A = this chain, B = another copy of it.
């Protein structure tokens, strides 16, 4: 029923070696320790800060009005997550995103549970209008947010990653957003210049803890800080680092409880070699509307 949109910017561009590039960017994040401002839901504030600190970045939860905007001008990146949209952080989100755009601070929008819930949905649309550097969500959230902007299908459809692919391609082509990260069993990253990239790492345990996806938004923001002009690279590298660390942590975990501290340990200890060895990244090489994408694989299964 839906047709695949053309992949912007992919014609003639050789597929970058994403695992190697991710490894390089990881070292940059650690060397520069970007300060990531987080306006995120109260459920995951703690794990979000801890993920950033484990990664080697810095975190600041500056989420009140009159502070949020000025801080977004000096922060290295901003994360806005709509999970618990209380009045104060709601106003702070818009203030911060507006300031981020003016100051060219890269920022990530994570529209948690957007769709039928009215407060966060209105907020997410207001934020989308400010053109986030990266939009991150699961397929349902991405479709709900971009589908409406696109005049397309709503959240009540069974959202699949491939449907979100189409919406993401249109949104990033039309520059609604710099890049789109669709999280799922296989993560889908879409951006002009990057094309469509799939990351097949991770673990089902990421769905058995709260904040697995929310923390990914923060990781992508940290990577956006070191590659602000290439949102697609930030989306891919952040996703690879987060899901590779999670996959390695899961090997030693006894369940969702012990998985969480082990994930933080892995984020802190992850080596460039780990990334290159474990990452499973594919890039659509010759996309055209309506055809099955061909794929090249970078990275070797462990």
Contacts and interface: CB of A to CB of B under 8 A. Distances in A.
B41 A44 contact: no
Q: What range describes how many residues of A lie at the interface?
A: 35 or more
Contacts of A45: 42-43
A261 to B, nearest CB: 3
A252 to B, nearest CB: 9
A64 interface: yes
A70 B67 CA distance: 30
Contacts of A264: 255-258, 260
Interface string A238-251: 00000000000000
A49 B54 contact: no
Q: How many copies does the complex hold?
A: 3
A12 interface: no
A59 interface: yes
Interface string A190-225: 000000000000000001111100000000000000
A175 interface: no
B256 A262 contact: no
Nearest to A89: B86
Contacts of A132: none
Interface stretch (A21-29, A115-123, A161-169, A289-297): A115-123
Contact of A257 (B62, B83, B254, B268): B268
Contact of A255 (B43, B54, B256, B258): B54
A59 to B, nearest CB: 7
The 3 A-B pairs of least Cβ separation, nearest first, read A257-B264, A255-B265, A257-B261
22 contacts: A41-B61, A43-B46, A44-B46, A46-B46, A49-B210, A50-B256, A61-B83, A62-B113, A62-B117, A64-B84, A66-B118, A66-B119, A67-B118, A67-B119, A67-B120, A254-B269, A255-B264, A255-B269, A256-B264, A257-B264, A257-B265, A261-B261
